């Protein structure tokens, strides 16, 4: 008795899946038969909201797709290494390479030697006053 019950429940579930797939095929066919809207200012989110009752399955797919956040990267960030050297999820750089990148970046962005000499001289004067 239990076996027959399980088989019947499985068949009911299988029928639901088949019906769902048939509904989806019919819905896609109806969607594709509609005339295309030629409007460059068409609000897609609003269109799917209004037509969600007509296209229940496809509107859910559209909602999932349009919920994906858009990611834009400024060109400066695309070619910059600042803030990404130590991120293990984004980079597979060896520790030696990371150290070399950080040292090179510090060297490139360092102050001219004259400015550093003035700061050292100023620091020595402060030290002499404290001693």
Based on its alpha-carbon atoms, the radius of gyration of the chain, rounded to whole angstroms, reads 32
Domain-terminating residue out of 66, 89, 116: 66
Q: What is the structure's pLDDT at 1?
A: 46
Whole-structure pTM value: 0.38
In this structure, the answer to whether residues 15 and 55 fall within a common structural domain is yes
Domain-terminating residue out of 37, 66, 95: 66
Distance CA(120)–CA(107), nearest Å, equals 18
Distance CA(49)–CA(44), nearest Å, equals 8
In this structure, the answer to whether residues 79 and 126 fall within a common structural domain is yes
* Cβ-contact 113, 119 below 8 angstroms: no
Domain count, the chain: 2
Of the candidates 41, 42, 48, 43, the one whose C-alpha atom is nearest the C-alpha of residue 63 is: 48
pLDDT digit of tens for each residue in the chain (131 aa)?
A: 465 666 566 666 666 666 766 677 788 888 888 877 888 888 888 888 898 898 888 888 888 887 777 766 665 555 565 555 455 555 567 778 778 878 777 777 776 666 666 666 666 555 555 55
């Amino acid at each position: 008795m239990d076996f027959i019950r399980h088989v019947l429940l499985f068949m009911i579930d299988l029928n639901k899946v088949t019906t769902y797939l048939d509904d989806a095929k019919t819905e896609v066919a109806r969607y594709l038969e509609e005339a295309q809207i030629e409007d460059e200012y068409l609000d897609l989110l609003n269109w799917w909201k209004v037509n969600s009752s007509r296209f229940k399955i496809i509107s859910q797919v559209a909602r999932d797709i349009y919920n994906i956040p858009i990611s834009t990267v400024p060109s400066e960030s695309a070619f910059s290494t600042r803030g990404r050297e130590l991120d293990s999820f984004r980079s597979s750089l060896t520790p030696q390479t990371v150290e070399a990148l950080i040292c090179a970046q510090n060297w490139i962005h360092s102050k001219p030697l004259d400015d550093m000499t003035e700061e050292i001289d100023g620091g020595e004067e402060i030290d002499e006053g404290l001693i």
